[in-house]
Amino acid sequence: MDIDLTPQLPKKLYGGDGGSYYSWSPAELPMLRHGNIGAAKLALEKNGFALPRYSDSAKVAYVLQGNGVAGIVLPEKEEKVIAIRKGDAIALPFGVVTWWFNKEATDLVVLFLGDTSKAHKSGEFTDLFLTGANGIFNGFCTEFVCRAWDLDEASVKSLVKNQTGTGIVKLKEGAKMAEPKKEHRDGMALNCEEAPLDVDVKNGGRVVVLNTKNLPLVGEVGLGADLVRLDGSAMCSPGFSCDSALQVTYIVKGSGRAEVVGVDGKKVLETRVKAGNLFIVPRFFVVSKIGDPEGMEWFSIISTPNPVFTHLAGSIGVWKALSPEVMEAAFNVDADLVKRFSSKRASDAIFFPPSN
């Protein structure tokens, strides 16, 4: 596979006083198109309002920074208005209508990762807006809208034309907005920074896995996700997705090194990664990461709602399952070396703390 896997930063697509919308381009990150994956980021300033829209792709949203409010309307359901905060993951199936609002001084930043296999453009999200200068009702003649909404022409023109913003607008200070309801969060969002840990290794790292058990809506999205926090100078075991899933990784904070190895033992990526980078690991390729002294945190989606991984080191690695005789023959080494090899990392799982 001769595809450039170099991590990339997003480019701004549009924005104004209320905030900006950024996207990763498949022209710069070809694996997006090859894997039918889209990636984008919304950044709202104080009083920034992302106008109601729906998308041609199912997604997982992850709040990278700040606090805000999100409105979510599932097909033929009532609106859910939820308070969102840093660490929240939200599953957004096909057909969902969303809006986003930030009333705080700190910017609200939301990452979107999703499946573009049914999108207009492979590797890119296309949003269709309900209001604004590019809202869909601008394309209908007034008669159609009058009959659809059962309103007079003057009212329709006000509804369709008064909002001149595109995508993101800034509301006036003190503008009224729908208030979040605590009960609306149930089943809609999971805070990955507060959820029970699936893996916890002292001085190594921690993992929270997002799946159909803790957020059932991801089953409708068709994606799984995880939040990984790697401690300073620790290593994440070499491993691969054994259910033919792609891994799409966004570095939330920190920095470190990453290596990916593919077919015929060929190294396809050896690079440094930092906060804001996005990179993709192809199906069945093996990836490993080592954090810098300040550690590293990343959020990933996996193109299956209940991902399964095989690790090639540590206490749950495949080597622990293989018989010594098989390893002697496979490595072409003596029994003593196999014994020493098997005794290493006997208690370490996915993460390996730095050597003293």
Per-residue model confidence (pLDDT) at position 308:
80
Rounded average pLDDT over 216-223: 91
Residue 242 lies in a domain: yes
Residue 141 lies in a domain: no
Confidence of residue 345 (pLDDT cuts 50, 70, 90): low
Residue 39 lies in a domain: yes
Q: Which of 12, 123, 61 is nearest to 301 (CA)?
A: 61
Per-residue model confidence (pLDDT) at position 348:
62
CB contact at 8 A, 208 and 198:
yes
Among 5-14, 51-60, 263-272, 316-325, which stretch is predicted with the lowest mean pLDDT? 316-325
Rounded average pLDDT over 324-350: 87
Interatomic CA distance for residues 74 and 94, integer angstroms: 9
Interatomic CA distance for residues 29 and 278, integer angstroms: 9
* 73 and 30 belong to one structural domain: yes
* 125 and 245 belong to one structural domain: no
Residue 157 lies in a domain: no
Residue 236 lies in a domain: yes
User: For the whole prediction, is pTM greater than 0.95?
Assistant: no
Asked if the model's pLDDT at residue 355 lies above 80, the reply is: no
Residue 151 lies in a domain: no
Beta pairing partners, 207: 199, 228
CB contact at 8 A, 225 and 191:
no
Interatomic CA distance for residues 193 and 183, integer angstroms: 20
* 201 and 175 belong to one structural domain: no
Q: What is the domain-level CATH number for residue 79? A: 2.60.120.10
Q: How many domains does the chain have?
A: 2
Interatomic CA distance for residues 64 and 39, integer angstroms: 14
* 226 and 122 belong to one structural domain: no
Per-residue model confidence (pLDDT) at position 138:
96
What value does the mean pLDDT of the chain take?
Answer: 93
* 171 and 211 belong to one structural domain: no
* 235 and 86 belong to one structural domain: no
Interatomic CA distance for residues 182 and 93, integer angstroms: 21
* 173 and 235 belong to one structural domain: no
Residue 19 lies in a domain: yes
* 120 and 203 belong to one structural domain: no
Per-residue model confidence (pLDDT) at position 347:
60
* 217 and 268 belong to one structural domain: yes
* 102 and 214 belong to one structural domain: no
Residue 224 lies in a domain: yes
Confidence of residue 275 (pLDDT cuts 50, 70, 90): very high
Q: What is the extent of the structural domain holding 254? A: 193-352
CB contact at 8 A, 296 and 290:
no
* 62 and 175 belong to one structural domain: yes
User: pLDDT per residue over 105-162, tens digit each?
Assistant: 999 999 999 999 999 999 999 999 999 999 999 999 999 999 999 999 999 999 999 9
Last residue of a domain, one of 185, 216, 247: 185
Q: Where in 10-130 does DSSP place strands (E)? A: 11-16, 19-23, 37-44, 48-55, 58-65, 67-73, 80-85, 88-92, 97-102, 108-115, 127-129
Rounded average pLDDT over 8-34: 96
* 264 and 118 belong to one structural domain: no
Asked if the model's pLDDT at residue 243 lies above 80, the reply is: no
